[in-house]
Amino acid sequence: MEVKNKYVAIKNHIDGDPNESDFSICEELLSVNLQPQRSDDDDDVVVQNLYISIDPSQINRMKSHSCVHTIIPEASAVLRDRCAIAAIGVGRVVDSRHPDLKAGDVVWGLLSWGEYCVVKGGHLLQKLDTSFGFPLSYYAGGVLGTSGLAAYAGFFKVCKPKKGDKVFVSTACGSVGILVGQYAKLSGCYVVGCAGTKEKVELLKEKVGFDDAFNYKEEIDLSSTLQRQHDDDDDDDDDDDDDDVLS
């Protein structure tokens, strides 16, 4: 059986700020019934996408040149015109030649900005246990997805905070930082974050529950700003960048 599969692609490489005009809605006829297996490594899986995480990091794949293009070829190589944009997401298996996946399974992995996709060899797909009853969207880009894993591992396994510690979170309004701040508060820490706009600073303090936050673009000396917030000897610095605070 064939379906009309709609997906999002870039019209050309984007080396500045992305605009709606840089993208197009494409359509293709896609067979959702796989042919009989032709070889032992022919483990393709057809997935109907349910939730997709659209992350800032994906812009790097849309650029004509970026250092990430060679890191993980399957996930970070430069995008070509009219190719679907890959993204972490959650979907339901429609047909499968993979021995560990069958039609109806709910899976997490590298899917695409589209209604359906064919995952070659079932690469990076994991079957989800839905018996816990969590919303499937949590796995796409939320607390149970890659952002949640990065936040949890970075905070609890690397920083290893204690109650009363003072924690600074850079890029605190990002998908990782915003979770780290909440983990820190739940752990009894004093939490300060930085962000790049007044609106984000207000969000951190008024909605997310940070003890304090500041706009790094308005600060001349970030070290002095942090010194004002708390003593360096007690600080945990949590972000998913380098040790320096990056814009």
Q: What is the pTM of this model?
A: 0.80
Q: How many residues does the chain have?
A: 247
Q: Which pLDDT does position 238 carry in this prediction?
A: 57
Q: Which residues of the chain have pLDDT under 50?
A: 232-235, 241-247
Q: Which pLDDT does position 72 carry in this prediction?
A: 67
Q: Which pLDDT does position 245 carry in this prediction?
A: 44
Amino acid at 172: A
Phi, psi of 78 (to 5 degrees): -60, 140
Q: What is the three-class DSSP state of 180?
A: helix
Cβ contact 154:180 at 8 Å: yes
Q: What is the three-class DSSP state of 59?
A: helix
Q: Minimal CA–CA distance to 122: which of 98, 91, 146? A: 98
Q: Which pLDDT does position 89 carry in this prediction?
A: 96
Q: Give the DSSP H or E segment for 47.
A: strand 45-52
Q: What is the three-class DSSP state of 228?
A: helix
